Amino acid sequence: MISRQDFYAAKLTYETDGSDLYAAQKAGEQITVVDVRTDEAWAQGRIRGAVHMHYREIAERAPKEIPAGAEVVVYCWSPGCNAGAKGALEFAKLGYSVRELIGGFEYWVREGYPIEDRDGIHRRPIDPLTGVPRIRSHA
């Protein structure tokens, strides 16, 4: 039986959250963020700088478009969506270091992080049920 300590250490190896991802991006860490949702969902908005690669396309496209050894974070729509796990599995099969963004795009938006759509880059107000509004620079 796995210990609780080992379980949580493993969990943090395979998952990340919006706060940690955003901090890593601001620190200039080289992370490839991959949106594994449908074309329609992508058009509604995405994490700034994300690559769009539906999880069914990863096996074919990733080796051509994402360098081997890249650190990858995948996300889908919300905590109620398992496409992120499907995408993470495909990247793992290819040998990438991959983590799933818990909460998906929904919580990224609700926590007020930058999103991109056809109108540019913007932020939505922070949902008080998911986070506390904080002072932040424009980015």
Residue 78 is part of a domain; what is its CATH number? 3.40.250.10
- Whether 65 is covered by a domain: the verdict is yes
Q: What is the value of pTM for the model shown?
A: 0.90
**Each residue of 73-124: pLDDT tens digit?**
999 999 899 999 999 999 999 999 999 999 999 999 999 999 999 999 998 8
- Whether 74 is covered by a domain: the verdict is yes
- Whether 107 is covered by a domain: the verdict is yes
**Phi, psi for 94 (deg, rounded to 5):** -85, -5
Supply the range of the domain harboring residue 95.
16-121
Q: How many domains does the chain have?
A: 1
Q: Are 110 and 126 in contact (CB under 8 A)?
A: yes
Q: Are 111 and 20 in contact (CB under 8 A)?
A: no
Cα separation, 87 vs 93, whole angstroms: 10
How many other C-beta atoms lie within 10 A of the C-beta of residue 12? Answer: 12
